[in-house]
Amino acid sequence: MNKFTLSALLVLSLVVGCSKHDETKPASVTTQSSASTESSAGKVVGFSQIGAESTWRTAETDSIKSEAQKRGVDLRFVDAQGKQENQIKALRAFVAQHVQAIILAPVVETGWEPVLKEVKAAKIPVILVDRGIDVKDESLYATLIASDFVAEGKMAGDWLAKKTEGKANIVELQGTPGAAPANDRKKGFAEAIASHPDMKIIKSQTGNFNRNDGKATMEAFLKSEGKNITAVYAHNDDMALGAIQAIEEAGMKPGKDIIVVSIDGVHDAFQAMVDGKLNCTVECNPLLGPAAFDAVDAVTSGKELPKKTIVKDELFEQDKAKEVIGSRKY
Ligand code: AHR
């Protein structure tokens, strides 16, 4: 199979979360391995995960671990506790263990060149999952399987513009500084509201993609801006759920007094929509295990992969939440 055919196959065969016709079931993202592709059974694969900062991240970890088990892969899993230095150490340890491939979910975009050069020198292919990196030499990784974070931010911004008829005082809860989804979701949202002069981001700070920090940052926003705030844009659901708690503790009604929009589509976010506290979430599918191991199999069989496979996302509003919550997989 030539490079073009394989790329087309991988892109076309992505099975993505929720389609309008398929009643919003977030299925695993899969690629179809060709019959000639080697199977994963018995392979030793390293997986460097960022941590467990969000429900989304745990769902991604579970997807990769369970797919490894299903395929008989010897998975070496290392949780970096949110630190790039720990991920770099894990990659070096994988080289020392002579793994056959590495799956990397990188915490931040920059600073990967030196260690990836060492991995490349050891002839170990690297599959990036969910977040991209900023490197001059793209041969330092085999492929990236991820959502389009700019598009997600834009979807959230367009939705808020429509909901508020272009008038909002927004507070923004950013993800981990330097992370691709934090950078890109900020950019996409800013692009969407740029043509609405009465939509203003009045405060913007990190909540580190976790619930506690999201709540603490929202408390600080409420303290300084109070009732001036009309909307919250959170770069992920966990921070939005923390913000919702802070709004309630301040005696206001999230979803009514303050509109809340976020990204991920985790089960708790759907519950918050059912409860009327969250207005909208943009799904970002974390079920990347099948696609990641299809990529491992392809690349270890000497096949070239497309540099990027984009996972498609969909937006969910409150009115749909009740109908689909029972079919959510994460
Ligand atoms: O990279 C994906 C983002 O990272 C998810 O939106 C977030 O929940 C996670 O921690």
Work out the average pLDDT over 287-303: 96
Measured from the Cα of 284, ligand 1's closest atom is 6
Work out the average pLDDT over 96-101: 98
* Full domain range(s) for residue 24: 3-147+286-311
79 and 115 assigned to the same domain: yes
Task: Give, for ligand 1, the residue of 29, 50, 57, 155 to mutate: max count of ligand atoms closer than 8 Å to Cβ.
Answer: 57
29 and 143 assigned to the same domain: yes
Domain assignment present for 100: yes
Q: Does the beta carbon of 209 sit less than 6 angstroms from any atom of ligand 1?
A: yes
Q: Does the beta carbon of 284 sit less than 6 angstroms from any atom of ligand 1?
A: yes
Query: Does residue 194 surpass a pLDDT of 80?
Result: yes
272 and 190 assigned to the same domain: yes
Measured from the Cα of 209, ligand 1's closest atom is 10
CA 261 to centroid of ligand 1, rounded, Å: 15
Query: Does residue 217 surpass a pLDDT of 50?
Result: yes
pLDDT band for position 33 (50/70/90)? very low
**Dihedral sign (CA 80, 264, 308, 205):** negative
Domain assignment present for 246: yes
Distance CA 18, CA 316 (A): 10
156 and 100 assigned to the same domain: no
Domain assignment present for 316: no
Domain assignment present for 120: yes
Distance CA 189, CA 166 (A): 13
Measured from the Cα of 181, ligand 1's closest atom is 1
Q: Does the beta carbon of 264 sit less than 6 angstroms from any atom of ligand 1?
A: yes
Q: Does the beta carbon of 131 sit less than 6 angstroms from any atom of ligand 1?
A: yes
Domain assignment present for 59: yes
CA 54 to centroid of ligand 1, rounded, Å: 7
294 and 231 assigned to the same domain: no
Nearest CA to ligand 1 atom 4: 57
Give the pLDDT of residue 38: 64
Domain assignment present for 319: no
Give the pLDDT of residue 39: 80
58 and 153 assigned to the same domain: no
Q: Does the beta carbon of 54 sit less than 6 angstroms from any atom of ligand 1?
A: yes
Read off the CATH number of the domain in which 291 is found: 3.40.50.2300
Q: Does the beta carbon of 60 sit less than 6 angstroms from any atom of ligand 1?
A: no
pLDDT band for position 29 (50/70/90)? low
Looking only at the bridges linking them, the beta strands covering 315-317 and 280-283 are antiparallel
Give the pLDDT of residue 40: 79
Give the pLDDT of residue 31: 53
How many structural domains is the chain composed of?
Answer: 2
Domain assignment present for 301: yes
What torsion, rounded to 10 degrees, do the Cα atoms 107, 46, 125, 182 define? -10
143 and 108 assigned to the same domain: yes
CA 112 to centroid of ligand 1, rounded, Å: 19
10 and 136 assigned to the same domain: yes
Task: Give, for ligand 1, the residue of 64, 174, 210, 236 to mutate: max count of ligand atoms closer than 8 Å to Cβ.
Answer: 236
98 and 158 assigned to the same domain: no
Distance CA 10, CA 30 (A): 9
- The predicted-structure confidence for 126-146, as pLDDT tens digits, reads as follows 999 999 999 999 999 999 999
Comparing CA positions, the residue from 256, 246, 209, 235 lying closest to residue 55 is 209
pLDDT band for position 26 (50/70/90)? very low
Tell me the three state secondary structure of residue 25: coil
Distance CA 271, CA 37 (A): 41
225 and 303 assigned to the same domain: no
Work out the average pLDDT over 70-96: 98
Residue with tokens 């059912």, as numbered in its chain: 274
pLDDT band for position 35 (50/70/90)? very low
Domain assignment present for 235: yes
Nearest CA to ligand 1 atom 3: 181
Contact 43, 74 (CB under 8 A): yes
209 and 253 assigned to the same domain: yes
Amino acid 224 reads S
3-7, 70-74, 237-241, 303-307, range with the lowest pLDDT: 3-7
- Taking every pair of C-alpha atoms in the chain, what is the biggest distance, in angstroms? 62
155 and 253 assigned to the same domain: yes
